[in-house]
Structure 1
Amino acid sequence: MSTSKLLDYSNVKKVRSPNLQLQGLIAAQRRLLNTHPSVPLISSNQSSLQAGIGGEDRVANELSKHTFFMENFIFHDLSLYYYSKYQMDTFFLTRYYAIIFEVKNLAGTLCFLDNPPQLIQKKDNGEINGYDSPAAQVERYGELMTLWFGSRKISLPIYRVVVLAYPKQKVERPPSKTKILFPSLISSYIRNIPLDKIWLDNETFNWLSSELVNRHQFYIPAPICETFNISTSDVRTGVLCKTCGQLGMKKTIRSWKCIHCGSQDHLAHLPAIKDWFLIMGSKMTNTDCREFLHVDRRTATRILASMELLSEGTFKNRTYLMDFEGLLRTGKLLEL
């Protein structure tokens, strides 16, 4: 049984992490000319990714509106490893069972095929697209979680559910054995699962929730230039002004000043450095920093030394790396 409550996230053990892939796509479009041949594909990837994240947020919001008689923990965007890496949109854990929710946000009419597993999308304009079956994906995640639990001597029933983010999504043919839900049906689905057996005692339940968080593996995407085969020379350099959105801030003694609107920002180099790592490459040299920020060697050295970057080599051969995983784990990525 569930009762309404106002956005209580106290049982959420893992929130959704900032999406580096999305940040890279957005940063690339800021720094490529609108006429660049890769921009349409990058924009399309951004739209698809944002639609997926929006669907996952709908599920998170729906779960936050309800509480249940049995204690539960929720993990959003949970990535684990068992022979291969797998990422679950939402993982719902109780002492009686667990549920994996795989969320899809695709417009039009959906047809789930079983042999071979495939999802066919028929848009209202007549366009037809094929995708990997989310039903097959969530079933596979269930198998991997069973093995992951088994490696820790844990036995727990695992339910698998595909959630369609919006009721406007029409299902022409559902999968043969995987449950399909809309977000508004999630609470009643959970409420109707029988609580036949307690599989986890309190100590194991709490230990397992911590183990899941500790074993989460953050996704660090390849730089955009590598992913989309873009020449780094096509990327516009310079420090971006967050006031007017133009590239062209100049370094002053203690700050940066925009040549377009006159705004000043003493930390304007931070998002520019992050842009470089998201777009250009995984290792930065002093020369890379100078050319990207339009500063001299001494200023570049001070900037690189002031940031919490990893480094390799010494003196002229030194390269710098952005510890994205560490920034995500500590929440400091939001400061850049």
Structure 2
Amino acid sequence: MLRTTLLGAAVALAPLAVSAQATLTAETTTPGSTPHYIDTTFAAILESAGVATLQITEGATLTNSVQAVAEGQLDMAPAPLILPFLLSRGIGPYSGVGPEKGAELAGNIRALFFNAGSAQVFGHYNSAPIDDIRNLEGKRIWNGPPRGAALTSGRAMIQLLSGLKDGEGYEGVQNQWPDAVSTITGGGADAWTIPEGLPSGRQIALAAAGGITIYDVPSDLLNSELGQQIVAAPGHAPYSVPVEEFRKAYAGNDITVVTDDDTFDSFATAFAQIVSADMDEELAYQLTKAFLEGEERFVTSSPRGPYLAMSFGDVDGVRQGACGAVQMKMHPGAIRAFEDAGHTIADCLRP
């Protein structure tokens, strides 16, 4: 798997004259993804503020990154909230860890802030159309990397659309994130389902090889018992954007957006920016303070900025997907930074 390390917190985006006070290690996903944008923008903000230099490794599998933060081997990572949930139980990709050790490791994780910037979409090439997205029998569908949160969400999407399970009615295609686009453009799948920010560089890259159509979740399916279970499942949050805004984000690309009403509705992947519970409180405070003060940069530095659902205000834990099945706690330093900025933090997020 191709992995690239960005030294000096994307120094092309930050003044060189500022001397950082700390050097931290971080991992993130591939360029073009929402976590990558958030992490590199955060790194530039921290560098500019003189708080820290992040040494970021790209192309990481976040399943491994979450465990590395919990074990104290990595300072920071973006975490789909389903991963700490699975780790706390020692199940799924963490079955080898076991429930006792998993609970101990999950207890070492704290959040600085939250976002829900990616929504699950379904797509296919117009040159090989799918007549009915509710009938996917026999199709090869790229539904995520070999393990982790995106795969869980991708499988949930196909089950919701068609009632089919991976390997039982359709063939799930999985490989690492850096290989996703080349696999799909190379004909390795008939369709795909991917959690994407708005706009998604990955969807634009796919469309560069030929026109594509992407779909939200039809209203009757989203409002069904299974649909609502998936929306409320660990690691998920509701997602809805006016369809004209959604289409405008892809203007100039050969991308058709299909919905059954005037909004693009799906389920979002809820994320937290995580650190170890052992991180120094003052450092966590300064990191979070810089995040809050950098709101304008997050929102304006990319077309996807307004759709990141970042926690720049009061944090109730429910909208962030962190006070239900997932019980994520914030770092005390982060809580202090939010409160100093005049925001409230729900009791369920306090350690």
Q: Which has the higher contact order (CA 8 A, sep 6+)?
A: 2
TM norm structure 2: 0.29
**TM-score, normalization by structure 1:** 0.29
**Largest Rg, 1 or 2:** 1
